[in-house]
Amino acid sequence: MRIRGLRLTLTALGADELEQIRWDPDDEDARELFLRRLRADPDARGFWVWTATLGDGTEIGNGGFGGRPTENRRLTVGYAVHEEHRGRGYATELLELLSEWGLARPEIDVVRATIRPDNAPSLRVAEKAGFTRTGELLQDDEHGELLVFERRADERDEP
């Protein structure tokens, strides 16, 4: 499964592919979780990890969701761009492509991003990608306080 953007191609990964991509060592526990979930439900490809590459095949980062939507009809998205590729707008394109893919699905009404208040680059990416801050704050054991941003299916066609 692939999504093509202006500069990036996103490829949904299964467990075997996920084991092969470059991954931030600080997030290895997340990769292990994603691997377990993908092995348990291989048909969930697309609802976990996507790798982002340039036209020449250079991997610039990855992103994805926290699994299939439940009765809340919502996906939570995350994204990361390798350090040497930051500052070029790739994170914004990655987030736009992922959120459009999610919101195009009939079972999804909302794509949500949770971001630390001190992560200024990620806050800018969410805003540029059409996400709106909800005013909600979440407390996460690993990341501390998180701001909640959303993009809704009923807003996707607005300018």
- Domain with residue 6: its CATH number is 3.40.630.30
pLDDT of residue 144: 81
What is the span of the domain harbouring residue 109?
Answer: 2-155
Tell me the whole-structure pTM to 2 decimals.
Answer: 0.88
CB crowding 55-89: b at 16 or more within 10 Å, else e: eeeeebbbbbbbbebeeeebbbbbbbbeeeeeeee
pLDDT at 141: 79
3-state helix, strand, coil in the chain (%, to 5): 35, 30, 35
Each residue's pLDDT tens digit in the chain (159 positions)? Answer: 999 999 999 999 988 888 888 877 777 788 888 899 899 999 899 999 999 999 999 999 999 998 999 889 999 999 999 999 999 999 999 999 999 999 999 999 999 999 999 999 999 999 999 999 998 888 877 778 999 999 998 864 444
Please identify which residue in the block is written with the tokens 């075997």. 16
Q: How many domains does the chain have?
A: 1
Q: What is the pLDDT of residue 123?
A: 95
> What pLDDT, on the 0 to 100 scale, is given for residue 156?
47
What is the per-residue pLDDT for 154? 82
